[in-house]
Structure 1
Amino acid sequence: MSKAVNNMNMGIVEPQERMKHLSHYGNLIEVDKNMPVTRYYRSGTEMLRMANVYLNEGNHENAFILYLRYMTLFIEKIRQHPDYASVKAEVKAINKKIKDEIMPTTEKLRAKLLAHYQREYEQFLASKEAERVRELERERQRLKELASRQAGGSGGIPSIIPANLHVQMDDKLQPTAPDLSLLDHVVYPNDFPTGANRSANLPNSGLLLPAAADPPASDKSTSLHPKPAFDRNQKPQYNRTDSLLAGSLRIVHVPGDTMDVFLQLARANTTNNIETCGVLAGHLAQNELYITHIITPQQQGTPDSCNTMHEEQIFDVQDQMQLITLGWIHTHPSQTAFLSSVDLHTHCSYQMMMPEALAIVCAPKYNTTGFFILTPQYGLDYIAQCRQSGFHPHPNDPPLFMEAQHMKIDNQTKIKVIDLRR
């Protein structure tokens, strides 16, 4: 097994290996030929917005992944879309942006990250070597004390010191200490810590590792697992809880009045048993997503469906206000809160572009609200592969959608509304 693989098993990866993993995540994007090609260009715009936010916040790993993902999409993957030829003007503009701006920025980030990983790796190796030396010194001291006690003639216990090792001191023969260098090649059980002790001397596990500071000496003497010393108010330069790497979903903050405000917007339609829908938009900060706006597009609704029109108006608003799409919200005027087969397909396009995208369903007749996503391990792929349209049956087991666990109601903020219906 290579050294790199061994290090990975311990939660450490050599610098070049870490960059390979980072690049792997940057290449994780596929093109669904059945999704409108314009959706990918909108997604690319929002991808760059998020990458720039990460860069400005000093979260270089997330920024690197998104820049790389953007280039992978528009240099390679988008060519697989059957409608690729219809967007030549956009392709030309994007290729110029990639060449002049994104590629140079990405290469600078690559060099910076590699240098950072190299420093972390050297610090880790130095820390392990220092710990090995300390452990050896503790073992020598233990044997030295043991030898001293036995040499003191306690109850006829035989001395472990050879009789021919003596030095002259004050006209008396005193036994010398044994040559402890002979112990350098002796292996003791404590050299191979197991369980919790194994991780006590290692940095945090995971692909991205900080340079862990040594705890104070007093802490080491009182606890086998000293807590890491850090200030939670100080944002680390390199974010180890990175959702893009770990595959976890970032928290989405929802203003507490979002549902009430939207139900007010939809009241006339609800009275007439017509669905109303809106786009949830917001921004990224500190690796969390914040819904700030409901954009209500021009639309046509029925008792169980809602179709938007003139989506370019939504894009114009988002471009002007630098907003990214974080999902959608709609009413079920006379039904409970759930995702119908049409809703599942609608939300699929949102969640494929933004894994954290929420589908909020308001059911005023039952005074309930649902916050849904397609199940990431099954539903998202199943619906993406489904070629049926309109209302049609889907299997319920395994479940295709679930209650979102990554959303958080924020009662301290207020939602803003942009109503394009007027």
Structure 2
Amino acid sequence: MASLSSPPATGASAPQSVEKISRLAQDYKFNPLVPLRYWLRTAATLVREARIYLREGHDEQAYLLLFRHAQLVLVHLAGHPDLTGEKDVRDERKALVAAEKEVKQNLEILEKLKPRINKRYERYTQLMHERQSRLTSSTVSPAASSQLPAPSDPALSGVAEPLEAGKDSELAVKLARTEISRRATVRNAMRQGRANGEDEGSRRAAGIWGDWEESLHRNEGREPDDLSRRIQEVRLNLDNRPQADARTTKPATRLSEVSPTSTYKYPTVPRQKPLDISPSSVVGISRPEAGTLTKPPTLPPKEAFSKSQPSGLEELPPRPGKISSDSLSATPAVPDKLKPDEANRGLDPSSFTFKPSAYLENGTPLRTVFLPPQLRSHFLSVAAPNTQKNLETCGILCGTLISNALFISRLLIPEQISTSDTCETVNESAIFDYCDSEDLMVLGWIHTHPTQTCFMSSRDLHTHCGYQVMLPESIAIVCAPSQTPNWGVFRLTDPPGLKSVLSCTQTGLFHPHAETNLYTDALRPGHVFEANGLEFETVDQRVKQS
């Protein structure tokens, strides 16, 4: 089964049908042991990725992510164990209601995308059939006539020449500079619109959502009344809808039984139920409240690294990344891959798609993460005062999705409390607010081991679970300036690492796991590539404390 937000496959480019994409969208792992607040951040990340894919012309991948978002919210999250437990989850309930409303809005986008995707798939099928007929009637051998491109990754559909991270890193840097600058301009225009009191429609037209609407309204054959009628019908039948068993890890019940001859159905939208929420509660689509986090107990000394005895923790600690979830300095030279007409109109992310560059242990492909080489040394200079005092320092790696690759473009230093073995974030809502306002995704985290070796401790492993359940490509950078090697880029293995750490029931801050091979290097080799010239900014939220 595929990871939640990574492309389902890789290979030659070929359009796919809506029925095929909907099946792929439901083929992922759901773990009810992951707290609801993490899943809500994951849902928000799915929508953010879908926006970018759609804006770049990847209709199939946008459809997959929006359908997956609807399936996750309506089938799994509506029955999450946290909702029936004793914990105070008023904020999560409120965020879930907001996510269900977002599903309603996304159904209209799915409705508009459906004929476009099917038209492209039908045309492709027709062309392949004609090609097969010509080859069969010619002198070409049967072996050659059978070499037709197979449907694969929706993100690669319609892309003539997907890029490779290793060979095209220079182009990646130029794409990032151009697109990050453009998105910054869009955000500034939206902020200016808000300052000038423009209405919501005008603000949306300034960028992301405006791009969606302008593109989708060109579609023909839409039946505007069909969606409203369907929503009304499913609401009337809501009470009879089978409830998903959120306490099992069985594959999710299909939202629709799809076959080439069946009538396609979208996910059902539940009736909104009134919530008993105090007026003082903060509204947030999937932002956990900092006050809900518990203070960790007194820490024992960090254990020494042992390859034969990995580490873990019972609960996810309140460190960065338990969640989940742009300036052009000069005109770049035109890369060789660009045609003359492309050079004239500049670097367009929709013209390129980076192929996945590595795979999880279960075979699921991972999108490339481009890392600025100078980020680590800059982080160490920021952390130097703490390091001299034998205190850990942590930072959050933020970035964005461009051309099916993830670019780290922001180093966020949150408010934090440090010891020689731990680093706890303070005021996590400020982290989420910043990422949302800058339209950034959380791509991982970085922290120091002032005197320890470069490894992932048990606490680090449990902390990283919060990142990797939100985004499979998430990374953890460990800096050990006094040791050799003095740094590393890691991810949890899947399997066995991610599942083993999530299901760990041992108590204590630092303890060994029975499983080995819980994490692996993500840089040599892996899905992380250092890209010379890739720019990044640093935002230090600790300054606000003084």
Same fold (TM over 0.5): yes
Paired residues of 2:368 and 2:405 also in contact (CA < 8 A):
yes
Match of 2:103 in 1: 98
Does residue 400 (structure 1) correspond to residue 399 (structure 2)? The answer is: no
Q: What is the DSSP-based 3-state SS (H/G/I as helix, E as strand, rest coil) of the residue aligned with 2:138?
A: helix
Match of 1:89 in 2: 94
2:35 is matched by which residue type in structure 1? P
Match of 1:268 in 2: 385
2:533 is matched by which residue type in structure 1? Q
Q: What is the DSSP-based 3-state SS (H/G/I as helix, E as strand, rest coil) of the residue aligned with 1:39?
A: helix
Paired residues of 1:256 and 1:414 also in contact (CA < 8 A):
no
Match of 2:117 in 1: 113
Paired residues of 1:282 and 1:324 also in contact (CA < 8 A):
yes
Q: Distance in 2 between matches of 1:407 and 1:335?
A: 24
Q: Per-residue displacement from partner, 1:109-131 (whole Å, max 9, x unpaired)?
A: 22211111111111001000011
Match of 1:145 in 2: none
Q: 2:148 aligns with which of 199, 202, 227?
A: 202
Q: What is the DSSP-based 3-state SS (H/G/I as helix, E as strand, rest coil) of the residue aligned with 2:511?
A: coil
Match of 2:453 in 1: 336
Q: 2:538 aligns with which of 414, 417, 420?
A: 417
Q: Distance in 2 between matches of 1:409 and 1:242?
A: 15
User: As a proportion of its length, which structure holds more strand?
Assistant: 1
Match of 1:59 in 2: 58
Cα 1:80/1:241, change in 2 over 3 Å: same
Percent identity between the aligned chains? 34
Q: What is the DSSP-based 3-state SS (H/G/I as helix, E as strand, rest coil) of the residue aligned with 2:506?
A: coil
Q: Distance in 2 between matches of 1:198 and 1:265?
A: 60
**Residue 202 of structure 1: how far off its partner (Å):** 2.2
Cα 1:204/1:391, change in 2 over 3 Å: same
Does residue 123 (structure 1) correspond to residue 133 (structure 2)? The answer is: no
Which of the pair has more CA radius of gyration? Answer: 1
Does residue 311 (structure 1) correspond to residue 428 (structure 2)? The answer is: yes
Q: Distance in 1 between matches of 2:61 and 2:13?
A: 19
Q: Distance in 2 between matches of 1:102 and 1:243?
A: 30
Match of 2:249 in 1: none
Cα 1:311/1:28, change in 2 over 3 Å: farther
Paired residues of 1:59 and 1:238 also in contact (CA < 8 A):
no
Higher relative contact order (CA 8 A, sep 6+): 2
**Residue 91 of structure 1: how far off its partner (Å):** 2.5
Q: Per-residue displacement from partner, 1:138-188 (whole Å, max 9, x unpaired)?
A: xxxxxxxxxxxxxxxxxxxxxxxxxxxxxxxxxxxxxxxxxxxxxxxxxxx
**Residue 296 of structure 1: how far off its partner (Å):** 1.4
Q: Distance in 1 between matches of 2:77 and 2:515?
A: 33
**Residue 302 of structure 1: how far off its partner (Å):** 2.0
Does residue 280 (structure 1) correspond to residue 397 (structure 2)? The answer is: yes
Cα 1:287/1:277, change in 2 over 3 Å: same
Cα 1:238/1:123, change in 2 over 3 Å: farther
Q: Distance in 1 between matches of 2:356 and 2:372?
A: 24
Q: Distance in 2 between matches of 1:312 and 1:72?
A: 27
Cα 1:375/1:310, change in 2 over 3 Å: same
2:131 is matched by which residue type in structure 1? S
Unmatched runs of 5 consecutive residues or more in structure 1: 1-10, 136-189, 214-230
Match of 2:38 in 1: 39
**Residue 247 of structure 1: how far off its partner (Å):** 2.7
Q: Distance in 2 between matches of 1:38 and 1:243?
A: 30
Match of 2:233 in 1: none
1:13-412 to 2 correspondence within 5 Å?
A: 18-84=17-83, 86=89, 87-99=92-104, 101-135=105-139, 192-193=142-143, 197=144, 201-203=147-149, 206=152, 233=338, 241=355, 247-366=364-483, 368-389=486-507, 390-395=509-514, 397=516, 399-404=517-522, 405-412=526-533
1:410 is matched by which residue type in structure 2? A
Q: Distance in 2 between matches of 1:395 and 1:198?
A: 52
Q: Distance in 2 between matches of 1:420 and 1:12?
A: 43
Q: Distance in 1 between matches of 2:436 and 2:417?
A: 24
The alignment's TM-score, normalised by the length of structure 2, stands at 0.56
Q: Per-residue displacement from partner, 1:50-85 (whole Å, max 9, x unpaired)?
A: 110000000112111111111112111112322337
Paired residues of 2:353 and 2:403 also in contact (CA < 8 A):
no
Q: What is the DSSP-based 3-state SS (H/G/I as helix, E as strand, rest coil) of the residue aligned with 1:280?
A: strand
Q: Distance in 1 between matches of 2:49 and 2:450?
A: 35
Paired residues of 2:354 and 2:368 also in contact (CA < 8 A):
no
Q: What is the DSSP-based 3-state SS (H/G/I as helix, E as strand, rest coil) of the residue aligned with 2:462?
A: helix
**Residue 198 of structure 1: how far off its partner (Å):** 6.3
1:82 is matched by which residue type in structure 2? P
Q: What is the DSSP-based 3-state SS (H/G/I as helix, E as strand, rest coil) of the residue aligned with 1:421?
A: helix
- Of 270-279 and 32-41, deviating more is 32-41
**Residue 417 of structure 1: how far off its partner (Å):** 1.4
Q: Distance in 1 between matches of 2:510 and 2:99?
A: 37
2:149 is matched by which residue type in structure 1? P
Q: Per-residue displacement from partner, 1:277-321 (whole Å, max 9, x unpaired)?
A: 111101010000000111111222222222222111100000110
2:378 is matched by which residue type in structure 1? V
